[in-house]
Amino acid sequence: MSRPNRPSLSTALVLALLAHGLAFGLSGCASFNNPFSSSPEQPPPPPPVVPTLPPAFPPQDIVGRWGFATYHKDEDRARTEAAAANQCKQPYIITLGQSGGVMMHLADQPTPAELRLKGAPGNKTFIGPEGDPPGSQLDREVITFDGRVLIMRWIDMEVQGRYGIMVYVRCPAEGAKPARTRAKPKPKVAPKPAQPPIQQTPPAR
């Protein structure tokens, strides 16, 4: 009696393993993006570039000698302004650059570089390297400037955490003597009226 041809046990085991491997490979490929697919996933769009506008003030306005100090807490601002004013014996000097910028130090740099004043929407002004849009990581934002006091903060939060918020107080012109406080004049005392001479009564005879 003839028996039908049946695959041996080893052949059946090999076929089962191949089928299992093929199924696993197909499931793994489904988890990857197909580069030839008609609808690949698109990367997120880059953030919009902030347009550069004219700054709120020209660079000439911050040229000069400044007392300098920093603070980290808002409640220390007034005290820091007073401390900066006392640093005019060793002032921080800002000069004009050769191409219309200002010479100032970047974070962690020992020598000054020419930086640009860059305006931005919302009447904001930043100071930083030329070519970078306003608000870049190397920039400083002007918080307030009234001609005498200039307050700025670093955009890079790590740098701001180390250096704090910067306060510049304008120093008097070099060689100028501080104004002396005039003493208040003493009030004039009205002279006392002169008393008439005492007339002596002649003795009675």
Identify the pLDDT of residue 124.
Answer: 96
pLDDT recorded at residue 193: 58
Residues 152 and 165: their CA atoms lie apart, in Å, by 6
What local confidence, expressed as pLDDT, does residue 30 receive? 45
Q: What's the pLDDT at 68?
A: 97
Buried b (16+ CB within 10 A) or exposed e, 79-90: ebbebbbebbee
User: How far are the Cα atoms of 46, 142, 198 from residue 92, in angstroms, in the given order?
Assistant: 38, 17, 76
Cβ within 8 Å of residue 61, ≥6 positions away = 145, 147
* Residue 199 confidence (pLDDT): 52
Which of these, 130, 134, 166, lies nearest to 150 by C-alpha position? 166
Q: What is the full per-residue pLDDT of the chain (205 aa) written as tens digits?
A: 555 555 454 555 545 555 555 454 445 444 445 544 455 567 766 666 677 899 999 999 999 999 999 999 999 999 999 999 999 999 999 999 999 999 999 999 999 999 999 999 999 999 999 999 999 999 999 999 999 999 999 999 999 999 999 999 999 987 666 555 455 566 666 666 555 555 555 555 5
- pLDDT given for residue 8 in this prediction: 54
The predicted pLDDT at position 178 comes to 52
Element (H, E) at 200: none
pTM for this predicted structure: 0.64
